[in-house]
Amino acid sequence: MKDKSAQKKDMPVETEAAPEDLNASQTEEIVCDAETGNDPIAAKMKTLENQAADDRDRLLRLSAEFENYKKRMCRQMDDFKKYANEILLKDLLSVVDNLERAVTTSGAVPDSSQSAAECVREGVEMTLNEIVKILTRHHVTVIDALGKPFDPAYHEAVMQEDSADYPENTVISVFQKGYMIHDRLLRPSMVVVCKKNT
């Protein structure tokens, strides 16, 4: 009877193959996959590189388009500032025409007919009426201040006077008319405000 230790010696020892122990055919397969592009990691890397290149190109195009847009907007803004008053100035040309006509007429009037002063006055009145029409067309309105309570948002007090005809803190005289454009103040009225002496 053999010794138990001898039996163990005679038995073949089973060992697990290490993961790195690959046979030649498996190694050739991996090398072949890497060379032919069948390696999933290499394929994923290639896809990511292509996507990054596409994203970079798209970003460059967007950046160039945005720069062009900014330049175009700057040009349009410059043109807008340059020609913003074109409509108003075109309307004012009729005022210039009236003034020129008044000057011409006043110089050509014979002594026996209407006096030159009357011609000038008539021409100035026509011109004033034309300007008022233009202002109305452009939504400019006069602030009605006389007899109204003083409002610092629309009136600029230049003096205070005592008056029995008006209550205290009321506009009793207008030195210079104020104007609104739409609902915005264009120029405040320069006014005299009633102040009661106590």
**Does the domain at residues 141-198 carry the CATH identifier 3.10.20.90?**
no
Residues forming a β-bridge with 161: 194
Domain residues of the chain, as ranges?
32-84, 88-138, 141-198
Instruction: Note if the pTM is more than 0.85.
Output: no
pLDDT score, position 16: 46
CA 151 distance to own-chain centroid = 32
- Locate 151 and state its tokens: 């409002």
* Neighbour count for residue 135 (Cβ, 10 Å): 17
> How does pLDDT run across 53-95, given as a tens digit for each residue?
999 999 999 999 999 999 999 999 988 888 887 788 788 787 7
- Outline where DSSP puts E strands in 18-146: 140-142
Sheet of strand 179-181: strand arrangement: 140-142, 179-181, 184-187
Per-residue pLDDT band at 130 (split at 50, 70, 90): confident
Residue of 97, 88, 174, 175 lying closest to 133 (CA atoms): 88
Distance CA 118, CA 139 (A): 32
